[in-house]
Amino acid sequence: MIAVLKHELSGYFHSLTAYIFSAFLLAFVGIGALIYNIQSAVANFEYVLGYVCLGLVVIIPILTMRIIAEERKQKTDQLLYSLPIRTFQIVMGKYIALLAVFLVPLCIVALYPLIFAQFGEVYLPTSYGSLFAFFMMGAAMIAVGMFISSLTENQGFAAGIAIPVILLNYYSVTLAEYVSATASGSAAAIVVIAVLLGCIIRHLTKNENLAYGISFVVILAVLAVYLAERSKLEGLLPNIMRKLSLFERFYTFVNGVFDLTAIVYYITVIIFFLFLCVQSLEKRRYN
């Protein structure tokens, strides 16, 4: 794993990738600080991080698009599979390298609250609590982008899929106000999600029995609840869309509340998508 980590870090910092990513992230933070902290004379640095969230929708997929897709395109992934290490270690080496690239500009951003504190009252616990949550949210988005990159050998396609997926998550709370809150609408949506989940599992594992079995169990459970107590499904779909939002949980920190459940949710998303990434590579490894 250490060898993969060193190789990835060398590739990022001996090319322009890490520097361009850092430049864009620092530019977003600088513009946000200029608007909120300097022009508007607001002492809350966490508002700047809330502004930068939309920028992550674009720059995170661009950072992750090549992490595995390029290996597949150049056929160098075959060399990785020949190494005496497990697929999990390969994925973790690449993921930690991406976290390091993401962490470098955040170390510079961490100086902003201290600088602003010299010229006014800045509540540092809220600022640094929001910065920690910002890092965890970015780490979850990196895991999502890395999984999408493992599904294709086209970097542009990987970014083109990751950006809409993360953008949909960004606007999920707003869209939740327009989706059906009826029991039948929620049931239909869950059935569609179950079918899509089965297709993903079948693609990753090539195990049709497992894929169809999981989809069938979920659909059967939804039908049972729908027939037995339909009221439990009312408003379920909008509620799920709100709960799955990475960004809405981050805004809790911006409002001054350290939400431990949000951190647990970010860690869960990271583990889930890294697991899917491992399964995707395992499928290619043994094929």
Handedness of CA 243, 248, 250, 255 (dihedral sign): negative
pTM: 0.87
- Amino acid code (one letter) for 19: Y
Q: Alpha-carbon distance 139 to 31, whole Å?
A: 23
Q: What would the mean pLDDT of 136-141 be, rounded to a whole number?
A: 94
Measured CA distances, 123 to 137, 153, 207 (Å): 21, 46, 53
* Poorest-pLDDT segment among 2-16, 85-99, 124-138, 197-211: 197-211
Q: Alpha-carbon distance 263 to 272, whole Å?
A: 14
Local confidence band at 230 (pLDDT 50, 70, 90 cut-offs): confident
The pLDDT, as a whole number, for residue 81 is 65
- Amino acid code (one letter) for 97: A
The pLDDT, as a whole number, for residue 185 is 77
CA 202, distance to chain mean position in Å, is: 23
The pLDDT, as a whole number, for residue 137 is 94
pLDDT in tens, 67-104: 887 777 777 666 666 667 788 888 898 899 999 999 99
The pLDDT, as a whole number, for residue 80 is 67
Residue 62 backbone phi and psi in degrees, to 5: -65, -35
Residues 6+ away with beta carbon under 8 Å from 130: 45, 46, 49, 50, 250, 253, 254
42 or 162, which is more confident?
Answer: 162
Radius of gyration of the chain from its Cα atoms, rounded to whole angstroms: 21
- Both tokens assigned to 157: 């396609």
The pLDDT, as a whole number, for residue 222 is 83
The pLDDT, as a whole number, for residue 285 is 63
- A 10 A CB-CB count for 48 gives 28
Q: Alpha-carbon distance 82 to 88, whole Å?
A: 14
Handedness of CA 237, 240, 244, 245 (dihedral sign): positive
